[in-house]
Structure 1
Amino acid sequence: MVEVVGFVLTVTGGVISGAVGFGVAEYRERSRRAERRRRWYGRTARLAERIGNAQPDLADTDAKLEHAPVIRETCGTVHDALAAHLLDAPAEADPELVASCERLIGNCYTIRETDVDGSVPRGFFAEASAAADLGDRIAAASRSMRERA
């Protein structure tokens, strides 16, 4: 009888220990994935904000024209960084946010490929403004999702 009780207690202890170990491992994995999502959303917000930050509110036309190469260069940098960043998107990333980032990458590509040496083509600043607005929306959505992750 004592041997049976000892065996049952040993098996019960092993089952409990295994369940606790599994629970701890699952908790760590979920925490790690949540932290990865938070970091990804944070970087997404920072990259998207860079486009708006590169476009100060310039009323003077000459100042705008002088600032066009900075906007173009910033969009080129953001294009490359955001495209690489999307490749690392977690599986749980919001599909609408990812689609918005892809649109922003397209806008940045268009701006980057625009030649602004000498003169700025018509529509350049409208395209840059649209990219900045989209970047601001992406940054706000990313921050919100980061807080919920």
Structure 2
Amino acid sequence: MKSIEFINKLGLVDLISEMHQQLRQQTMLRINEQLPSALSEMEVYMLSLVEHQALSVSEAARYMNISRQAAHKHVQRLVAQHWLTLTTSETNRRDKLITLTPQGHDVAEHIQAVKAEVEQELQKQIGAEQYRLLKENFQRYLAAE
């Protein structure tokens, strides 16, 4: 736990970074508690990205801000777990599309449930109105970029 003095000296950017680190750590611990093999943050991100639509490895890499090779490495590990499949795109033969398997859908649902749980706890800590305002402000800021 960080000291109050340390926290009070932080600017907003550093406070957001500290909060993000804490929330991400809690989320990852809970996600991995119930899975047969531990996932990295990037693998969780990958599963979350392709939960609602298929993406090419290149598209996923761009969203995740990592190299195509790094994205492919994560995809290969998730394919080995039988959580993702790779297929050749019908529109561009060079692109490999990433989709969830039925087991992958189960894992993605587990990830979303854990995230919702962590968000509910945050909402309980700061109050529903403050939570709503915080979320709206982040959404507004990100939409403006």
TM-score by length of 1: 0.32
Q: Bigger relative contact order, structure 1 or 2, given CA contacts below 8 A and separation 6+?
A: 1
Give the number of the structure whose alpha-carbon radius of gyration is greater: 1
